[in-house]
Structure formats: structure tokens, C-alpha cells
Amino acid sequence: MNSPAGKLVTSRSELNIEDYLLSDSSINEPRGKLRLRDLLDISPTLTEAAGAIVDDSFTRCFKSNPPEPWNWNIYLFPLWCCGVVVRYCILFPLRCFTLAFGWFIFLTSFIPIHSLLKGHDRLRKQIERVLVEMICSFFVASWTGVVRYHGPRPSIRPKQVYVANHTSMIDFIVLEQMTAFAVIMQKHPGWVGLLQSTILESVGCIWFNRSEVKDREIVAKKLRDHVQGADNNPLLIFPEGTCVNNNYTVMFKKGAFELDCTVCPIAIKYNKIFVDAFWNSRNQSFTMHLLQLMTSWAVVCEVWYLEPQTIRPGETPIEFAERVRDMISLRAGLKKVPWDGYLKYSRPSSKHSERKQQSFAESILVRLEEK
């Protein structure tokens, strides 16, 4: 009795590559046998398929998972309706009032202090730092934020930088309510850009534009200058460079790890039981994102301040960045993927993918008809 392994070896030994090569006598043969030219014909298709697999593993880092519906029967639907009434007609107005009250206190204090204490920079910065922390606390209160912080609170020290995984712009708000960080961030339009160029400038934040190549050199110089200052606010960097859906971490940019200073990792994990805190800037404005948070039951979050790290002898900045990413991913329970987050901004549109799918389907139909 022959074993399956023996049959497999025998069948392989009987294969002859010449059977698949194109010969003169086979030009007019009917298409009943797989030949090398057929394999070459489908090689572009195999390339497209491999690309689709890669693209799928990349795009799932930037997809929000919609909550599963639970109001599926006559018993639960009334409870769901009551929840909608409570969230939109009671909680949302109260949260709007809370946020408006916070802005009133902040602006009536910030504007006079910023104007009248220009000759007393140290005192002005201290008061502005407290006011920025206060308005961020009002923002968190407007979502009924439940945030638990683990580890020692960040302090102002020279030659140190904080790095964290990035899910939404609210990461900055969640961290800022505890410590007034100077963050490096993409320049935004609208009311967010107005806040960046006025209020957040007071805590030493640094802005950049991805489309401007010269900005990289300018920002790199500002980063080096900032970390050397003894009185500057702690520097916060999101080295992924884009928002990821809090299930994965993409590659860390090495800029934060080339500053020759201590790197303090911060791991942020959101509980999606009430709302998904991921901000997909391609599909949703930040205003609508805030409204989504303010009409949810609560935003639940865990923040871990991890042990500071320094680059090891013989370790490259890229290896240093990967080691810190390992720490953050392990602590927050995130999966690592080997993709550059900036590819998110250079990927083709869905219309291009649909055209490729249509072309692939048509080519398959033609080959089936020929058979």
C-alpha cells in the first residue's frame, strides 16, 4: 500500500517542464492544457492579488469598526429609544453648556493675561499653562470622559521627549489636561487652526505641513532647540504621524529618536464600549468627531506613562524607535504592522480600485469564454 507522501513524490517526479513550454506543434492545439504562456498571462493578476492582500492589511489600520446593533427585538428597541432621548436631549445640552462655560472662563482669563503680562514671561507662561490644562479638562468633561492615568506624572526637564501612539486629536486633549505639553502637530484649517496659531502657541507647540518639504528641516531645528530649554514645556510627539484605529501601531518616524535625549513612552488605549474614539480625518471633520463624542454615553480611556528609555550603544535610531513601539504596543494591547502611516495620504482612491476590479472581472470572463 502506497502512502500519500509516496504518491506525491511520484506525481512530482513525473512532471516535465517541457509539457508547459510553447512548441511549434502546440500553436494550433486547442486550449485544453495549462501551458507556460497561460501562467505568464495571469502573472499580472497574481501581482494585483498580492497587492490587494498588502493593501487590506494596511487599510484595516485606518478603519473604524461600527458597533454591532443590539436593538433587534421589541424588548430592546424601547430601551434604545430612551437612550437616544437621554443622550441627545439631556446629556448633549448639558455638555454643550459645560464646554461653553469652560470657554467663557478661559477666554476672560487668557486674553487679559496674555496682553498685560508680556513683560513677565515666566509668570505669564505658568498661568497660561494652567489655563490650557483647565480648558482641556472642560473638553474631557464634555464627553463625560473617564480617564485613568498610570505611572508618574510628566515633569519639566531638559533633554527629554514624550512619544505616544495616536488615535485621534483628542489624544492631545486627554494628555494635556494632566500636563501642558508642547506638541508637534499637523497644521489644520478652520477653527482648529485658529486655536493652534493663538492659544496653543503659548505652550510652545510646533506646527508643520506635510506638503512642504522645507518644513521638515525647520521643524527638526525647532525640536532640537526646544528639548534643550530647561523651562520649556515637555515635548510631546506622535511618531506614527497619523491617526490609527487603536487596534494597531504603524511604523514610528525616527525624528523623535534622533534628538539625543531621553524618550518617555506613553501608551493610550480607548475602551470602545460606548464610542469609538478613532478619528478618520478622510471621512469626518474634527467638529463632527467631537459631536459624536459629545452625544455618546462616555469616553473611557487608559493612559500609561512608561519607563523612560535612552538609546543603547550601537543601536540605530530606527531600532530605538522599534523598541519603544514594542513597549507601547505591549502595554496597550495593540498589534504591530510594518507599514508607514504616511502611505495613508498617498493611496489611490476607491474608484481606482473599482476600475481595477472591473478590468480583472472582464479579463476572467474573456478567458472563460475562450475555454
Q: Evaluate whether residue 306 is within a structural domain.
A: yes
Phi, psi angles (nearest 5°) of residue 56: -65, -40
Using N-to-C axis directions, what is the helix angle for 190-197 and 286-294, rounded to 10°? 100
Q: Coil, strand or helix: which one is 52?
A: helix
Per-residue confidence (pLDDT) for residue 326, from 0 to 100: 96
d(CA 240, CA 32): 52
pLDDT digits 0-9 by tens, 319-356: 999 999 999 999 999 999 988 877 776 655 555 556 66
Helix (H) or strand (E) holding 329: helix 317-332
Q: Evaluate whether residue 355 is within a structural domain.
A: no
Evaluate the CA torsion angle 189, 194, 195, 197 in order and state its sign: positive
Q: Evaluate whether residue 7 is within a structural domain.
A: no
Per-residue confidence (pLDDT) for residue 35, from 0 to 100: 53
Instruction: Report strand pairing: 145-150 vs 160-164.
Output: unpaired
Q: Evaluate whether residue 23 is within a structural domain.
A: no
Q: Coil, strand or helix: which one is 92?
A: helix
Q: What is the mean pLDDT of each run of 10 residues along the chain (371 residues)?
A: 44 43 47 51 55 61 76 83 94 96 94 85 88 94 95 87 94 93 84 82 79 71 84 90 91 90 95 90 88 95 96 94 96 91 64 64 71 58
Q: Evaluate whether residue 29 is within a structural domain.
A: no
d(CA 22, CA 15): 16
Strand order in the sheet with 145-150: 145-150, 299-305, 262-271, 160-164, 235-237, 182-186, 206-208
Model pTM score: 0.76
Q: Evaluate whether residue 160 is within a structural domain.
A: yes
Structural domain total, the chain: 1
Under a CB-based contact definition with an 8 Å cutoff, are residues 82 and 264 in contact? no
Which structural domain range is residue 309 located in? 145-342
d(CA 249, CA 338): 9
pLDDT digits 0-9 by tens, 122-174: 888 889 999 999 999 999 999 999 999 999 988 888 889 999 999 999 999 99
Per-residue confidence (pLDDT) for residue 318, from 0 to 100: 93
Alpha carbon 338 to its chain centroid, in Å, reads: 14
Q: Evaluate whether residue 207 is within a structural domain.
A: yes
Among candidate residues 127, 143, 134, the one with its CA nearest the CA of residue 105? 134
Q: Evaluate whether residue 357 is within a structural domain.
A: no
Strand partners, 164: 266
